[in-house]
Amino acid sequence: MMSKIVRTQANFLYPLIMIFGFYIVAHGHLTPGGGFQGGAVIATGVALIAVAYSYKNVKTWIKKTRLTATEAIGLLTFIITALLGISRSFFYNWLANTGLLFGQPVPYGINPGYLNTAGTLPIMNFAVGIEVLGGLGVIIMYYLHYIKEVSKNAV
Amino acid sequence: MIFESLLQILLLAGLIISAYLAIRYKDLLACAVALGVFSFLLSLEFYILQAPDVAIAEAGIGAGLTTAIFILAIKGTSRWEVEE
């Protein structure tokens, strides 16, 4: 448990970090960044909460089993999305230019920022994002689990 | 062009200063914060060298996650460096 200043700052910064991370994941096929970078930024928010509060509180908010399930769901989504195009080839982009989800045709030249394009790439970005979030979150939670809080130094 | 060179010189000087401070401090929490500043300046340098993808990864992992893990480790051990 840190001081009240740190906890207030963490409460203020946590939603902003979350929004920025999901922005990076959602714009992965348009701007720099993608699934891995966005997932790392989201895991930074989880780490901020884990640093600012005591383990007793964090344990009730963030469950390790749920993070492991998140990681597994991300990997499964990635593999299933790749396998759905197996009639042509593995990782075939079966959603592009179909008019369905993420299937808007792209104009010639540089993409002017249409989010609803690129077929299966945004889905795979989201899958990698929540997989990285689960993996790094599990690392942080296990790290926190084995630390006995020393009360004599007031960090 | 002049501005970019000046910014790079400032960033490299800041990198060296923050790395030196991370070695010299006896307060390990201050060392962790100095390493966070080092990673942040390094990500700015990556951005100037036109690698924004690497810059985002460096800012997220170097300045965010690594600092948090160092602070958690300091929480579990001692805050001050002990002279042998």
pLDDT at position B38 over 90: yes
What is the percent of chain A where pLDDT is above 70? 94
A36 token code pair: 């891995």
Average pLDDT over residues B8-33: 91
Specify if A66 maps to a domain.
Answer: yes
**Shortest Cα distance from A75 to chain B (angstroms)?**
20
Residue with tokens 């079966």: A94
What values do phi and psi take at A31, rounded to 5? -120, 170
What is the percent of chain A where pLDDT is above 90? 8
Average pLDDT over residues B40-49: 91
A24 token code pair: 């990076």
By Cβ distance, the residue of A24, A140, A155 closest to B79 is A155
Let me know how long chain B is.
Answer: 84
Q: What one-letter code names the amino acid at B17?
A: I
pLDDT at position B32 over 80: yes
- Residue B41: the pLDDT is 92
**Shortest Cα distance from A86 to chain B (angstroms)?**
30
- CB distance A149–B78 less than 8 Å? no
**What pTM did the predictor assign?**
0.81
By Cβ distance, the residue of A40, A51, A147 closest to B60 is A40
Specify if A32 maps to a domain.
Answer: yes
The count of structural domains within chain A is: 1
- CB distance B56–A51 less than 8 Å? no
- CB distance A47–B52 less than 8 Å? no
Q: A45-97: per-residue pLDDT in tens? A: 888 888 888 877 888 888 888 889 989 998 999 998 888 888 887 888 777 77
Specify if A152 maps to a domain.
Answer: no
- Residue A143: the pLDDT is 82
- Residue A154: the pLDDT is 47
Q: What one-letter code names the amino acid at B69?
A: I
Q: B50-71: per-residue pLDDT in tens? A: 898 899 888 888 888 888 888 8
A94 token code pair: 């079966």
- CB distance B64–A148 less than 8 Å? no
List, in order, residues 6 or more apart from A99 with CB less than 8 Å away. Answer: A105
Average pLDDT over residues B9-30: 91
A49 token code pair: 């909460």
Between A and B, how many residue pairs show a Cβ–Cβ distance under 8 A? 69
Q: What is the DSSP letter of A153?
A: S
Cα separation of B76 and B64, whole Å? 19
> B80 in helix, strand or coil?
strand
What are the DSSP E strand ranges found in chain A?
A: none
| A146 vs B52, more confident | B52
By Cβ distance, the residue of B53, B55, B75 closest to A149 is B75
B75 token code pair: 């929480």
Sign of the CA dihedral with A20 first, then B64, A75, and A134 last:
negative
Domain that holds residue A78: 4-145
Cα separation of A82 and A103, whole Å? 16
Specify if A153 maps to a domain.
Answer: no
A39 token code pair: 């997932």
Specify if A150 maps to a domain.
Answer: no
- Residue A113: the pLDDT is 76
- B30 vs A: CB within 8 A: no
Cα separation of B34 and B70, whole Å? 11
pLDDT band, residue A155 (cuts 50/70/90): very low
